[in-house]
Every structure is written in structure tokens, then in C-alpha cells.
Amino acid sequence: MQAVELGFDHFGTEQFPQIMSFAAVEALDGQRVRLGGYILPFDYFSGGRVTRFLLVPYVGACIHVPPPPPNQLVYVETSEPVQVDGLWDPVFAEGVLRIQRQDTDLASVAYTLELDSITPYRP
């Protein structure tokens, strides 16, 4: 029996390529928004608190699949940790949206949110 070279790493040491669309909606810059999505934290403190995260459009974005384009991701950084009850649960993030590129370890991002609040998603 021989091992077969597949051309990609199943164990996560290689980054998947990201489609690089930074086409942001200029009219949203500086607007107060309420966005639905999932939290992908950069840091995670005891008790489920975070200070830096990406707001992503679907569960698992940026982890095991190529990241969504930058114009579908929002970078959020808070001065005080915010409580996150479940990383698999959708949330609403409210605040002021800025067109501001961020290049992170997980993905490049076109928007930044000045966070006011996070609440559970309710359709």
C-alpha cells in the first residue's frame, strides 16, 4: 500500500486561498447597522468573553474552508470583553460600520464594526 499525495493539507497547516473582493459599499461607511452572523474569536477568555473577533456569514467560515471574500467579513475589536454564550449560535452585532481593511491570520477583511452591542439572533 502506498500513500497518495493529494496536493493539500488535511490537517490545517496550509491556508486556503481567499477570493479577494474588497468591493465595499461606500454608502455604509459611518452608518449605524445591525448585522447578523457568527462570531469567530481571535481570543477567548474564561466565561466565554471575547475582545477581538470576525463576524462571519456562516458557521465555520475561515476555519476549514476558504474564507469568504473580504467584503463579506467584519472585524470587531472591543475595549472591554463582551459575553458570547455560544460560538455556534447566530448573533446580531450592532454599531457603526467603517470601511477599513484588516489583514488577519484567518482572512483579509473589508469592514470594521465599532461595536455597541451583541444580542442573540432572532428572526
Q: What is the pLDDT at residue 22?
A: 74
Question: In this predicted model, what pLDDT tens digit does every residue of 20-40 receive, in sequence order?
Answer: 677 899 999 999 999 999 999
Q: What is the pLDDT at residue 10?
A: 46
Residue 97, strand partner residues: 113
Quick check: is 18 in a domain? no
Quick check: is 15 in a domain? no
The one-letter amino acid at 75: Y
Quick check: is 20 in a domain? no
CA distance 106 to 80: 22
Min mean pLDDT across 2-6, 51-55, 59-63, 95-99 is at 2-6
- Report the CATH number that the domain containing residue 105 is assigned in CATH: 2.40.50.870
Selection from 59, 57, 99, 102 nearest residue 77 by Cα: 102
Quick check: is 59 in a domain? yes
**Domain that includes residue 67, residue range:** 38-120
Helix (H), strand (E), coil (C) string for 51-71: EEEEEECCCCCCCCCCCCCHH
Total tally of structural domains belonging to the chain: 1
Quick check: is 70 in a domain? yes
Quick check: is 13 in a domain? no
